[in-house]
Amino acid sequence: MKALRLMLSVLTAGALMVGCGGGGSGEDAFRPTEPRQSTLTITPVSGSLPSNRSGIAPEPNSPFTTQLNVRFTRADGSAVPDGTTVQMRIDNVAIGGLSILDDPETTDINEFTTLFGVIFTETSGGQATFFFHSGPVPGTAVLTASGVDPATGSTITANVTVTVTVGPEPFQRLTVEPVRTVLPPNQFGVSPFLGSPFISEVTVTRRRIDGSLISASNADDGGGIGVSINPVASGAFSTLDDAETDDVNEFLLLLGQGPVDVVAGKATLFFHSFSPGQSVMTVTAVDPDTGANLSQQVTFTITDSAPALPSQLAYLTEAPPLYVPESGGNANYAFQLFVDTGNGQGVPDPIAAGVAVNNVQFEILSDGAAGGETLTAVAANGANVEGRVIQTRSFAGIASGVFRAGTRQGTIAVRATADRRDNNVDNGIQDPVITQQSL
């Protein structure tokens, strides 16, 4: 029994020694394992881009833009938590700029098209997405991504070098080039012919975003260009005749708007002048590579062959039979007067020192006022005027008024007067232009 108790004691002591690591201090056994560092990598879709010498704004699928994929992973390969902030920095902003995906919640800025030297974004699934956009200068730039390691709390970085090569010569993807932008008015409606002084040839050029000419673009397939003229009172456009359409000559077909095909990167248009004034030609297109909307405008001026002052007056309405009041017949006559500059165009709306003025005077010529005939109209200041002599203003060359019959029977004349000197009757009539109508 004594031997058995001794053996058990030895075994128990041995077990304790094994549990205590052979009798050591035990500090190493309880020291925590240090976390391993996460990794950060940058992978550009393309490491070399042409320089953007034309200054084209960032667009999807542009050759001047490449996507930068930053992967942020733990030591075991798993993604860092979503929302981990990653910073991207460029060491030479002359070579290019950085951007991120546009945030729909920030309506005051487009983060994709706005370029930065330093920018932040957050990870999703362990990835942060940036974009590098080449500038006008060739060279190399070092891009540095950095972020705080969620495992160790330290900042880790990764670098990549991108190369910007010499890009295409400066160009525009859509150009509109008229032979001339000032034309005389086609007052007598001369039919179109090549070389007409009332026609300006316009060449439209389309290029891809890499600067090469678009080989062909059919308007029926959603390509080509769109053309519009505004306002059409001063002009219209036509195109080259299409040999495949025997029933119409497109050169003679004047349009206010319509699609036009592009061949070998070019489209030929013809602007036709009408009345004096200005007319704007707007040309639109869609970039076949990026989907960007492109537009250009040209303003044509149709010169006036006469001063913008009254030259002649003409009543536009014929006087109907009128009857004295309470006779059962019509006692009122609403009339209009055209104030002509001499070339068939109405005078401008009269203004002096920025204030609307009256430019037409109407008066009843018959002697005496016993009959009670009156004229009414609206003056330049907006007030209603009534009497045997009234003054009003024209709009687009048209002055209006109303004659109200009195008790007098017979023929009554209404005279209209404008001032050839300054198109203003409020300051007196110095050089009268006169016409009259009998009622």
Is residue 189 a part of any domain in this protein? yes
**Cβ–Cβ under 8 Å, residues 348 and 423:** yes
pLDDT over 50 (residue 20): no
Tell me, rounded to whole angstroms, the distance of Cα 161 from its chain centroid.
37
Quick: pLDDT tens for 249-296.
999 999 999 999 999 999 999 999 998 889 999 999 999 999 999 999
Which of the four pLDDT bands, split at 50, 70 and 90, describes residue 7? very low
- The identity of residue 278, as a single letter, is Q
Which of the four pLDDT bands, split at 50, 70 and 90, describes residue 21? very low
Q: Which among 119-128, 317-326, 350-359 has the top mean pLDDT?
A: 119-128
Q: What are phi and psi of 123, to 5 degrees?
A: -80, 155
Which of the four pLDDT bands, split at 50, 70 and 90, describes residue 18? very low
**For residues 357 and 352, what is the distance between their CA atoms, to the nearest angstrom?**
6
Q: What are phi and psi of 108, to 5 degrees?
A: -90, -5
Q: Tell me what pLDDT residue 330 has.
A: 83
**For residues 360 and 196, what is the distance between their CA atoms, to the nearest angstrom?**
38
Query: Is the domain of 353 the same as that of 295?
Result: no
Quick: pLDDT tens for 191-229.
999 999 999 999 999 999 999 999 877 766 667 899 999
Q: How many CB atoms lie within 10 A of CB 11?
A: 10
Quick: pLDDT tens for 402-425.
999 888 888 888 999 999 999 999
Query: Is the domain of 317 the same as that of 273?
Result: no
What would the mean pLDDT of 310-332 be, rounded to a whole number?
A: 85
Which of the four pLDDT bands, split at 50, 70 and 90, describes residue 22? very low
SS3 per residue for 294-362 = EEEEEEEEECCCCCCCCCEEEECCCCCCCCCCCCCCCCEEEEEEEEECCCCCECCCCEECCEECCCEEE
Is residue 400 a part of any domain in this protein? yes
- Domain count for the chain: 3
Instruction: Tell me, yes or no, if the pTM score tops 0.85.
Output: no
Is residue 183 a part of any domain in this protein? yes
What would the mean pLDDT of 118-137 be, rounded to a whole number?
A: 97
Query: Is the domain of 95 the same as that of 212?
Result: no
Query: Is the domain of 380 the same as that of 432?
Result: yes
Cis before 231 (ω within 30): yes
What would the mean pLDDT of 348-364 be, rounded to a whole number?
A: 92
How many residues comprise the chain? 439
**For residues 125 and 73, what is the distance between their CA atoms, to the nearest angstrom?**
9
Q: Tell me what pLDDT residue 405 has.
A: 85
Q: Tell me what pLDDT residue 118 has.
A: 97
Quick: pLDDT tens for 220-251.
666 789 999 999 999 999 999 988 888 899 99
> Domain range spanning residue 99?
39-165
Query: Is the domain of 202 the same as that of 292?
Result: yes
Q: Nearest 10 degrees: CA dihedral of 106, 112, 117, 123?
A: 80
Q: Tell me what pLDDT residue 149 has.
A: 93
Which of the four pLDDT bands, split at 50, 70 and 90, describes residue 4? very low
Q: Which of 165, 189, 220 is the last residue of a domain?
A: 165
Report the half-sphere exposure of 247 (CA within 13 A, side-chain side): 0
**Residue that is written with structure tokens 């204030």 in the block:** 355
Q: Tell me what pLDDT residue 384 has.
A: 94
Query: Is the domain of 365 the same as that of 394?
Result: yes
Please give the mean pLDDT across all residues of the chain: 88
DSSP 350-409: PEETTEE---EEEEE-SS-STT--EEEEE-TTS-EEEESEEEE--BTTEEEEEEE--S--
CATH code assigned at 57: 2.60.40.10
Is residue 18 a part of any domain in this protein? no
